Amino acid sequence: MSALVELDACTKVYRVGSFGSGRLTAVDDVTFDVRSGEVVSLIGESGSGKSTIGRMILRLSPVTSGAIRFKGEDISAFGDRRLAEYYRHAQGVFQDPFSSYNPVYKADRVFALVKNAYFPHVDGATWRSRIEASLEAVSLDPRQVLHKYPHQLSGGQLQRLLVARALLLDLEFLVADEIISMLDASTRIDVLNLLGELKANGLGILFITHDLSLGNYISDRTLILRRGVVVESGRTADVFGDPRHPYTRSLLAAVPHLHTKWGPGTTTEARHSPTTPPALVTVGPGHLARVAQ
């Protein structure tokens, strides 16, 4: 299987501080790929750079250095037309579904926007049947969700509407950024099952989460991110079953506390220790960790 999305030594440095004089390396030399029909989990605590990676893949934020390729093409080289084409195939759904809707408009306006941008010549009846099919795919009843305002729908319904919108496009790759975290337990399993079905239909998914148990449940491969640096990666079974990096081990040791949020302060430590961290080395088949040899 060839890579659908590839990150090649991607780094993101934000300018911070009152005059933009400070520099914060949010993502540091990250390399990985996602193939079709595969779920890759990106796991790390709050502030570790997960959303920045998702945003860079969707070209919502440029890379500072390195390259991101979609089916072998560098996305930074895309002009407007090619970028619109890219968004036909690559979409993101983010943590807070409410922020993706304008409260002034009915929630299904997101579908009209897709039609205007991508399918202006599709007739109304055909379009309606496509919407109904995509709602069905995410287990939403059109009668319950169409013509409603965002505040009349639950977080889970809004989340699934966003996935339904993405399904109207020729979706091949989805960034799912903490989409489960804010859902209640009963909806969580529905959305996880939906992602499983999308994967079975050949979609590549980057599943971003701070919750190890969710990553374990859904993904084929896992990357553990710590302060912008990948400290361990490999098949999920290997990373969870035979963790090699002390940080991965400490995360797993904290599993009984998984359902309490990581507290603030965990990310305020110095970003770079004075000693150079060990390089990523192969510790097993397809299993890499930043450990001293």
- For residue 204, the partner it binds in ligand ADP, Mg ion, none, with Cβ less than 5 to 8 A by kind, is none
Among 38, 39, 43, 51, contact with ligand ADP (rule: CB under 6 A): 51
Strand order in the sheet with 73-74: 22-35, 3-16, 65-70, 73-74
Nearer to ligand ADP, 47 or 156 (CB): 47
Question: Residue 95 interacts with ligand ADP (CB under 6 A)?
Answer: no
Question: Residue 119 interacts with ligand ADP (CB under 6 A)?
Answer: no
Nearer to ligand ADP, 14 or 119 (CB): 14
Question: Residue 64 interacts with ligand ADP (CB under 6 A)?
Answer: no
- For residue 248, the partner it binds in Mg ion, ligand ADP, none, with Cβ less than 5 to 8 A by kind, is none
Question: Residue 52 interacts with ligand ADP (CB under 6 A)?
Answer: yes
What does 89-149 look like in DSSP terms, one character per residue?
A: HEEEE-S-GGGGS-TTS-TTHHHHHHHHHH-TTS-HHHHHHHHHHHHHHTT--HHHHTT--
> Rounded to the nearest whole angstrom, what is the least distance from the CB of residue 24 to ligand ADP in the complex?
6
Check: CB of residue 4 under 8 Å from CB of residue 90: no
Question: Residue 11 interacts with ligand ADP (CB under 6 A)?
Answer: no
Check: CB of residue 150 under 8 Å from CB of residue 107: yes
Check: CB of residue 115 under 8 Å from CB of residue 158: no
Question: Residue 41 interacts with ligand ADP (CB under 6 A)?
Answer: no
- Of the listed pieces 43-51, 140-148, 159-167, 233-241, which binds ligand ADP according to CB under 6 A? 43-51
Q: Are strands 173-177 and 22-35 parallel, antiparallel or unpaired?
A: unpaired
Question: Residue 209 interacts with Mg ion (CB under 5 A)?
Answer: no
Question: Residue 146 interacts with ligand ADP (CB under 6 A)?
Answer: no
Among 50, 106, 165, 290, contact with ligand ADP (rule: CB under 6 A): 50
**Angle at the Cα of 105 (from 101 to 108), degrees rounded to 5?**
70
- For residue 245, the partner it binds in ligand ADP, Mg ion, none, with Cβ less than 5 to 8 A by kind, is none
Q: How far apart are CA 63 and CA 28, in angstroms?
A: 11
Q: Where are the alpha helices (DSSP H) in the chain?
A: 50-57, 80-89, 109-118, 124-137, 142-145, 155-168, 185-200, 212-218, 236-241, 246-253
- Of the listed pieces 42-50, 105-113, 125-133, 280-288, which binds ligand ADP according to CB under 6 A? 42-50
Residues of this chain that bind ligand ADP (CB under 6 A): 14, 16, 24, 26, 44, 46-52
Residues of this chain that bind Mg ion (CB under 5 A): 51
